[in-house]
Structure 1
Amino acid sequence: MQSDPAAMPAPAGPRENRAVLVDVALALVIGWILGAAAQVAHWSGQLAPGRRHGPGPTGNEAGHDWPRWAEGMGQPPPGVPWPALIAAVVILLAVALRRAYPRAAFAGALVGAIGYVAAGAPFPVTLIPLALCGYAVAGREPLLRWLPIGVLVLPLAVAGWWQEAAVGLTEPGPYGVLLITAAVLASATMLALLRRARRDAHDRERREELRQAALGERLRVAREVHDIVGHSLSVISLQAGVALRVLERRPDEAAAALRAIRGSSTSALTELRQTIAAFRDDPGRGPTAPPPGLDRVDELAAALRAAGREVTVERWPDPLGPLPASIELAAFRIVQESLTNVVRHTDRAGAAVLLRRTGDELLVEVADDGPPLAAEPTPGGGLHGMRERAEGAGGTFAARRGERGGWVVSARLPIGEAP
């Protein structure tokens, strides 16, 4: 049975490996501190805060203020506080594994702290590992999945008084331990939740940016395909109508129209392949043809003239001079879509194309001589596409009724510095 690659965990990166090493080093330091604190408590004869083993001498005689062995013996008492050291090892492992197993590490830190304090070691040194493990689990697990583990704080509060009557509940010490532990864990939890919320917000913003980028790329592809296919099909339809009208009476003209259809379809397919190839991320693919520019406007005009439409192209100055490739592509597509609309929405209207360069601006204007429009043109997919191209290049776009009929499409594109 083969495993699903998507279900397998991704290999850890350098950042995760560094975090693991930091956790291991931190666990070793904390383990050393816990062991040293337990050993010192053993040597001094001191117990956990408030813990007593029945009636007996107090003060210096009981060893609360000065190690009893230091009053003349000169050597610490024999033996090692093994229960406290074993509990310290449990806490050490919890800190080391808090990223990989946050819930288990949090529970282990609490259990280890209970054993550590019950063995007579000082309680305050357990707060640091508890805070670290609480921070880790709060930042990685939902609150309801690990909060029940927090009930272990209750036995931790009375661990230092387990030999007392009523486990010390009649004394203020356990309640102080409970409040301090709860405050430390609550602070660690709040910090982790704030950091988690900030990380989640950043992830959402990143996903939204990627989604918007993908949407923009799809719209760009759709716009390119629309302009190429829409114009070519309009020209092909126009040329096919000419061929049908003259097929029986003037077969030579019909043959010329059919050859023009073949040329238009071949050119459209070639440009469509080049456009799709340009959007593919294929390093092994050879160089593609450059995007169309204003030098191909004459080809658009010639195709319409071959179909019986009168189209003029005026450049000022002529030649226009070097232009940025993005500006040339936007200007070409605007002219292409404008001529497509002339063919699509009028029967016999011609068009005049004006390309005027003034200073740092390029004016693109296409006017047809069709019948006067009763109202302003209704924006459609073609007009929206032209407006997006002009605004995407940093320019402006307008479509209005012409003074003598038809309509006028114009765009002003900033030139900047040509390459």
Structure 2
Amino acid sequence: MVINAIFHLYTSVVNIVIVNYFFRQKNGQLATPKNIGYLSFLVFIECCTHFFVSESYASLITLTCSLLTSLIISSSYHYSMKQCIFWSVTLQSIGILLEASLGIVLISLKYQISSISGTFLFINLLTISSIIIIFVLKQLFLKTTDNWLDEQTQTNWILKLSIIPMISLSLLLLQLLRLKEEPLFDLFTILLTLGFIIITITSLYLYTYISEQHLQMQDINLDRVRFQSELKHLENVKENQLSIRALKHDLHNQNIVLLGLLEQKQYAKAKQLLNHNLNLLDGTDTFFTNDTILNYLLNQKAIVAQKNGIVLDIHCLIPTNISLKTEVISVIIGNLLDNSIAATIRNQNKAEKQIQLKVRLFKNQLHIDIENFFDPKELASRSQRKKDGLGIKNVQKIVQQYYGLYQQTIDNNIYKVSIIFSNIVLVSQQ
């Protein structure tokens, strides 16, 4: 009975660690006095129940305690009630299926567990099998901002880190089969098994740490892009200030000339001078959108395109009070336009110096579409340039961080990029 209680204490603690890993995210905390009290009480019940009730009832109580443990941990991380119930029941079902499957395997091998070491090995085989499945489930179906990596990086890490528990699982199974002729208690086997469990669980939390570091690097890259954008903005502001000073100086001189023309009653020349000034003012800025930051950015890119003989067709139909920050939209559009302008400049065909940009909000989805012609001769070097280019990488990381969809296609000699952000709503302006 005492050995049985020790085994249940061990499995309960390991179960708490694994379930906590599965549900863990930043917007929650498990280590509160209330949660610790609840979990300690459930562990106590699970350990002591075999002293007072039959084995069949004890198994049912153990299953209930394990289910309540999952519910307490999931609710502490602020999951919805439906999510808590669904995933808690799913985890318990996986545990039952794994235990039954491993039992069938051992029966097929005509092996019966008759020692403490064998029982301990059997428990840890179940534990490592659960770790493998829970690790994959968390990465595939329970994505949060804490464990979000890009798809390729995520797949690579799943494959790499799954090797550790798979090796542990294989070695423990071999050790279990080796114990057929071993004594009742094998200290080396127990220590070896504990070592494998510690390594496996450590690999899970190592992955979590790597994910958090990766997210921090994404934030740093985004801040760097924003900083570069701010520097460009300040440089443009400086140029505008110099232009304003020059304009003031010119207006001062022109007003003197205009005053002289009026005094001399040369009204035709005065009117001609005024019309000239009005035409200059009308051509200084173009209205694309109500958002001042985005409108300023689009004007600056339009000036660059015009200087290089590029026709830039912009349609921007988005309100100013949407839930996605204007700074994020500006960084994305700025990088896209920079890439398109650079590719169009390299294209020697003057008839193809065109860029089309469409930004619109439709049914709570923000669509950003851009297309431009490029020189087909660049196809050989384009893949390497896309791989090395910071602009595209930054756009993809930002889109991914805000859970958007990024797609780029090539149609003959037209390069197209389509970005969609879902669940974009209007926010109240205070």
Say yes or no: TM over 0.5. no
TM, length-normalised to structure 2 = 0.35
> Rg: which structure is higher?
1
TM, length-normalised to structure 1 = 0.36
Structure number with the higher helix fraction is: 2
